[in-house]
Chain A
Amino acid sequence: MTRRARLWVLTAGLLGTAALFAAACLRMPPFGGTWHPYGDRAVQAALLQRTANTVSSVNFDQRAFDTLGEESILFAAVLGTVVLLRRTSGERRVTPQPASVPPAVRRYAIAVLPLALLIGLYVVAHGQLSPGGGFQGGVVVATALHLLYVGVDYRALERVRPVGLYELADGVGEGAYVVLGAAGLLAGSAYLANILPLGTFNTLSSGGTVPLLNAAVGMEVASAVVVLLARFLAQALEIVDEKEEGRERGERRKRE
């Protein structure tokens, strides 16, 4: 299609969709209403399960199967990225040049790194109590490690990041979620049933299986994000095309 034709089709579609959606909005219940039947039931169920953070109760207990699917999506995406960004034949690894970073930035990165890790672990651990949980904390942990890349050097990051180990942890995290779910079946209840003692409301050990599932997710997410970023970093910094590299070397020699 020519650009003009595409624009016509697009405009017609957008106008149609806009009209439909606007008509639907006018029939929506007014914003901020009090009628939330599922939400109210979920709050009651969460209190009965002694989980202070209802969102975590929904995520890891009431609708834990959704989270299993969600973690599998993340897992699949990381696996897919590893496959898609693999080093192909005709490509070679090079050692990236060290970067020059102002010393203040370097000091900041090294000082904040442990603190950021701590904050990440705190967010994971308090998932069933306060806002946060495995996903959020896991991403913070992974980001914290990459402070070494942005603040120090790629090689510093590589030293704390044996990718194979993180791939293993990724698999273990996903596997742990699946197996914890199966424990419910073995205990004679349903898959992903909350079979552990519920503990005392508003303490770190409350909520039965919620903290365990939460920890499994945290582990998977942290390692998944590390593996994911490792592939992108390797593509941008390490992997070069042999043909292009040869051409470049030739040019350099000519100049010299």
Chain B
Amino acid sequence: MREALDDALVVASLLFVAAAATAAVLTRDPARQAVVLSLLGLGLALLFTVLQAPDVALSQLAVGSAVTPLMILLTVREVRRRKRRE
């Protein structure tokens, strides 16, 4: 019973991650993609936790929840700032 439950959690998170990855690829606008990537990061953290890898989940959370979106959005802002001026 417990194993079936574990499997169900694993399958649910796997499908979530696969869906988030697909959505991230299909979101062509980089700023909006950053939001989806952030959700992909959260999904990965969940998947790692149900795969009993809290260490990896923690580093994925640390990197994916604020630092990567910040870098992407700052880049997007820089790119757009110049576009607007022209």
Answer yes or no: A and B touching, Cβ < 8 Å: yes
Which residues in chain A, 123-145, are within 8 Å of chain B measured between CB atoms? 123, 131-133, 135-136, 139-140, 142-143
- Which of B53, B54, B67, B78 meets A236, CB within 8 Å? B78
With A139-B62, A143-B62 in contact, is A229–B70 under 8 Å at CB? Answer: yes
| Interface: A204 (CB within 8 A) | no
- Contact between chains at A55 and B85 (CB < 8 Å): no
Question: Which residue of chain B has the shortest Cβ distance to A235 in the bound complex?
Answer: B78
- Contact between chains at B67 and A139 (CB < 8 Å): yes
Q: Which residues of B contact A233 (CB under 8 A)?
A: 74
- Contact between chains at B67 and A232 (CB < 8 Å): no
Q: Which residues of B contact A53 (CB under 8 A)?
A: 55
Interface residue count on the B side (C-beta < 8 Å): 20
| Interface: A158 (CB within 8 A) | no
Interface of A is mostly: helix
- Distance in Å: Cβ of A42 to nearest Cβ of chain B: 13
Q: Which residues of A contact B53 (CB under 8 A)?
A: 55
- Contact between chains at B66 and A55 (CB < 8 Å): no
Q: Which residues of B contact A235 (CB under 8 A)?
A: 74, 78
Which bracket fits the contact residues of A? Answer: 20 to 34
With A136-B62, A139-B62, A236-B78 in contact, is A146–B55 under 8 Å at CB? Answer: no
Complex-state Cα separation, A53 to B54, whole angstroms: 11
- Which of B58, B59, B67, B75 meets A225, CB within 8 Å? B67
- Which of A56, A131, A140, A232 meets B70, CB within 8 Å? A232
- Distance in Å: Cβ of B51 to nearest Cβ of chain A: 9
Complex-state Cα separation, A84 to B75, whole angstroms: 13
| Interface: A244 (CB within 8 A) | yes
- Contact between chains at A232 and B74 (CB < 8 Å): yes
With A146-B70, A232-B74 in contact, is A135–B85 under 8 Å at CB? Answer: no
Which residues in chain B, 18-75, are within 8 Å of chain A measured between CB atoms? 53-55, 57-59, 61-63, 66-67, 70-71, 74-75
- Which of A55, A140, A248 meets B62, CB within 8 Å? A140
- Contact between chains at B66 and A232 (CB < 8 Å): no
Nearest first, the 9 closest Cβ-Cβ pairs linking A and B are: A131-B54, A139-B62, A236-B74, A232-B74, A136-B58, A55-B55, A236-B78, A136-B59, A131-B55
Binding site for B on A (CB under 8 A): 53, 55-56, 123, 131-133, 135-136, 139-140, 142-143, 146, 150, 225, 228-229, 232-233, 235-236, 241, 244, 247-248
